[in-house]
């Protein structure tokens, strides 16, 4: 129920930034702002593939917060809430601190959640043996297809991996779009070393503007979480396509109007000329003559259009 409230309307809880990368031993500060005053303020953590864990609850007049579970009596975590804002400080980062952190506000039984901030904690010591490499960033055309690659090396640690793909665009925060858990079909072991290397693909077909953004590959292996540096994907071609559609539409409308005008003009010319031709025609035993009638001498009420009146005379001629 609580998580579905964000879909009922625009949330008044906002978090700064959306993806943070930090090294083991460093410190980070996560910020959150509340558009409306609430009775309680919360911080949650969600590790990859795990359920939400509550970190702290701050009441309206309690600025320091009350911590729960593994975060209780842990000096590495502190919370400061004041004037519609809250910040979560994490000191001396550990690899286990990797995850997505959410802030929330609560009034009675109504909860509002922020967008979440994903924190990736990297260990420089393990980077020589464990790492993730992703496809190069690039620009693709609308309607085309692309396959993003994620290559994972886990050192001497084998076993199955849990692979996650996140997308972060300018209009939204990172969202989990694909999981590939418990599979190592594309993994191999180097014959000269004990390192294990795995390759994972994310195919994207029929690209449009909504596919633009930065794609992150994350892998859980041997008790640690590895994040790639991300692949930025730009999708172009919509503006050119719309211009072409507008041009072709205008050309089609102009052609239709021109065709109608030409047809109307030809019809009028044909109707006028059919009654203004003088001459004699011989057909069998009859001679026909088409005579133009001058109506200028008639009164106005008796005049008729020369385009609609023709007078024919005929005389019989007997051939000897």
pLDDT digit string (tens) for 195-253? 778 888 899 999 988 888 899 898 887 767 888 888 999 988 754 556 677 788 888 89
CATH class of 13-122: mainly beta
In the predicted model, what is the mean pLDDT of residues 174-180?
A: 71
Which of 3-7, 252-256, 283-287 holds the top average pLDDT?
A: 252-256
User: What's the pLDDT at 193?
Assistant: 64
* Owner of token pair 């019989």: 316
Decide which of 65 and 2 is more confident: 65
User: What's the pLDDT at 307?
Assistant: 46
Judged against a pLDDT cut of 80, whether residue 296 lies above it is answered with no
Judged against a pLDDT cut of 50, whether residue 180 lies above it is answered with yes
How far is the C-alpha of 314 from the C-alpha of 282, rounded, in Å?
10
In the predicted model, what is the mean pLDDT of residues 175-187?
A: 66
User: What's the pLDDT at 27?
Assistant: 96
CB count within 10 Å of CB 165 equals 19
Long-range interactions of 78-85: CB distance < 8 A, separation 24+: 79/43, 79/55, 81/41, 84/33, 84/34, 84/35, 84/37, 85/31, 85/32, 85/33, 85/34
- 159 near 226, Cβ under 8 Å? no
Domain ranges of the chain: 13-122, 124-236
CB count within 10 Å of CB 240 equals 11
CB count within 10 Å of CB 93 equals 20
User: What's the pLDDT at 50?
Assistant: 83
What pTM value is reported for the model? Answer: 0.59
Q: How many residues does the chain have?
A: 320
- 160 near 183, Cβ under 8 Å? yes
Q: Which residues pair with 105 in a beta bridge?
A: 41, 112
Judged against a pLDDT cut of 60, whether residue 73 lies above it is answered with yes
Domain 124-236 has CATH 3.40.50.1820: no
* CA neighbor of 221 nearest in space, from 176, 151, 158, 178: 158
Query: φ and ψ at 239, to 5 degrees?
Result: -65, -40
How far is the C-alpha of 186 from the C-alpha of 80, rounded, in Å?
46
At residue 176's C-alpha, the angle toward residues 158 and 202, to 5°, is 65
* CA neighbor of 22 nearest in space, from 71, 76, 94, 78: 94
Give the CA-trace dihedral at 74, 75, 77, 79, to 10 degrees. 110
- 217 near 177, Cβ under 8 Å? no
Q: What letter would DSSP give residue 50?
A: S
User: What's the pLDDT at 183?
Assistant: 52
User: What's the pLDDT at 81?
Assistant: 87
- 154 near 222, Cβ under 8 Å? yes
């Amino acid at each position: 129920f609580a998580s579905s409230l964000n879909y009922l309307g625009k949330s008044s809880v906002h978090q700064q930034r959306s993806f943070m990368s930090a090294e083991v031993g460093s410190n980070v500060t996560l910020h959150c702002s509340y558009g409306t005053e609430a009775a309680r303020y919360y911080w949650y953590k969600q590790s990859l593939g795990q359920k939400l864990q509550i970190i702290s609850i701050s009441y309206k007049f309690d600025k320091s917060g009350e911590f729960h579970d593994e975060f209780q009596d842990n000096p590495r975590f502190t919370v400061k809430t004041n004037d519609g804002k809250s910040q979560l400080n994490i000191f001396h980062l550990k690899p286990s601190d990797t995850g997505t952190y959410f802030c929330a506000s609560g009034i009675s039984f109504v909860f509002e959640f922020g967008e979440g901030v994903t924190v990736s904690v990297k260990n420089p010591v393990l980077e020589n043996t464990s790492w993730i490499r992703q496809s190069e960033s690039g620009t693709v055309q609308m309607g085309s297809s692309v396959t993003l690659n994620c290559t994972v090396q886990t050192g001497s640690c084998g076993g199955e991996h849990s692979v996650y793909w996140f997308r972060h665009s300018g209009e939204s925060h990172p969202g989990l779009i694909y999981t590939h858990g418990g599979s190592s079909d594309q993994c191999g072991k180097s014959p000269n070393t004990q390192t294990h290397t795995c390759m994972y693909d994310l195919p994207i077909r029929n690209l449009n503007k909504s596919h633009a953004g930065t794609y992150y590959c994350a892998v859980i292996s041997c008790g640690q979480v590895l994040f790639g540096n991300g692949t930025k994907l730009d999708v172009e071609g919509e503006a050119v396509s719309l211009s072409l559609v507008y041009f072709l539409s205008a050309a089609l409308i102009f052609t239709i109007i021109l065709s109608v005008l030409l047809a109307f003009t030809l019809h009028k010319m044909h109707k006028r000329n059919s009654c203004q031709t003088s001459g004699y025609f011989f057909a069998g035993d009859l001679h026909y003559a088409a005579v133009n009638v001058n109506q200028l001498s008639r009164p106005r009420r008796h005049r008729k259009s020369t385009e609609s009146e023709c007078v024919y005379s005929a005389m019989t001629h007997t051939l000897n």
